[in-house]
Amino acid sequence: MIDLLQDLMQDRRIRHIQDRVDGISTSSKMNATAAAREVTVELNQRMNKLLLTNVALMELLIEKTGITEDDIAKKISEVDLRDGKEDGKLNARAALPPAKDCPECDAKICRDFNRCLFCGYEDV
């Protein structure tokens, strides 16, 4: 009889702990969902701002310089191919213009330091 009471008490404690764990798990999922939603909203706002800026810059270029939309499209394709793939993406390193050749020793000038790491030539 005592064993039965102990088992019932233990079952009650287990259910209580399980309910608490379920509550924490649900709360964590809700927090994660809210955080993901917040990040998504922030990214959408940033994307919309970048889109607006790019459209304004493109219109200014066309109005002020006579560059055509076709010229811009060709440049976009050229920049897209810098990373070796025309996929609408650009890794950060490929966004930089290609490294220049050093006029002193023909090595590549380091873009991070604007100088040749072999002979010390500084690209001003």
Checking DSSP bridges between strand 115-116 and strand 109-110, what pairing results, if any? Answer: antiparallel
pTM assigned to the model: 0.50
Strand partners, 110: 115
Give Rg (Cα) of the chain: 30
pLDDT digits (tens, 9 = 90+) for 60-109: 999 999 999 999 999 989 888 877 888 888 777 666 777 899 999 999 99
In the chain, the amino acid numbered 12 is R
